Amino acid sequence: MNSKHLTKGSRKPSPVRRGKLRLYSNRFCPYCQRVILVLDAKRIPYEVVNINLVNKPDWMFDKSPMGKVPALELDNGEVLYESLIIADYLDDKYNAHRLHAKDPLQKAKDQLLLKQFTKIINALLKTVSLGRIEHDEAQVISEGLAIFERELTDRPGPFFGGSRPGMLDYMIWPWCERSDVLKIYGKDYILKKEKYKQLMEWRKVMVEDEAVKKSWCSANTHIKYLQSSRAGVPNYDLLI
């Protein structure tokens, strides 16, 4: 997973072996981590090809539009892209360790919550782009997390999925893992832990999940990567 990120001029990988999956990924991309979490949670064998997003290999554009990651290549040469599409495909294709709720209504409600979380993601992305957190973005993050705090309080277990993490847990986790990077914008923007007690407990148990452990990075590592990215030279190979 921590292999060197391939760049322009890199040799095109050989075809995917029969019965295998290949994920074109990036070590610090939260959308890629979504797919990795699903693969690991469902214990699906796969291989990873890491891609340098600033200097992409030419052949990557043959794998997905605009060379986007994540992209999942199947052994028949078909390639899927977009993290939520790939996650749903994997859960439908591989029956073991189902992540979506069995109840259609609950599954639909979880998907609506995930749409709500997209607002938080957009606010975080704008913050990183600006290099500072504005009042509007801080409010979106705060109000959005309050929705998830209330929802988790009503769930029958420590996870949104109940007694074990489900699809909603894994789909929002990559950004929750990175939430402590907000402290680089000053103490006023550190998440108030007393305000989100349920979510803080959820974070503690999520970190102990076996699938999460495999792709988890510390806050300091995420901050180092973010600092390199903001300087215009993202260090994708930071962990090598």
The reported pTM is 0.94
- Start-end of H helices in the chain: 30-41, 83-93, 104-130, 135-153, 167-177, 197-207, 210-215, 219-230
Please check the confidence at residue 189 and state whether its pLDDT lies above 60. Answer: no
Say which CATH superfamily domain 1-98+234-240 falls into.
Glutaredoxin (3.40.30.10)
Please check the confidence at residue 187 and state whether its pLDDT lies above 60. Answer: no
SS3 15: coil
pLDDT tens readout for residues 36-48:
999 999 999 999 9
217 annotated active-site: no
Q: Mean pLDDT across the chain, nearest whole number?
A: 92
Location of each CATH 3.40.30.10 domain in the chain: 1-98+234-240
Please check the confidence at residue 124 and state whether its pLDDT lies above 90. Answer: no
Q: What is the DSSP letter of 65?
A: G
- Reply yes or no on domain 104-208 having CATH 1.10.150.120: no
pLDDT band at 138 (very low <50, low <70, confident <90, very high): confident
**What is the average pLDDT across 38-65?**
96
Q: What integer pLDDT is reported at residue 126 of this predicted model?
A: 85
Token code pair at residue 238: 């930071």
Token code pair at residue 33: 């981590």
Location of each CATH 1.20.1050.10 domain in the chain: 104-208
Phi, psi for residue 53 in degrees, rounded to 5: -80, -15
Contact at 8 Å (CB) between 100 and 91? yes
Q: What is the DSSP letter of 22?
A: E
SS3 164: coil
**What is the average pLDDT across 165-179?**
96
Catalytic annotation, pick one of 29, 32, 176, 217: 29
Token code pair at residue 92: 């439908």
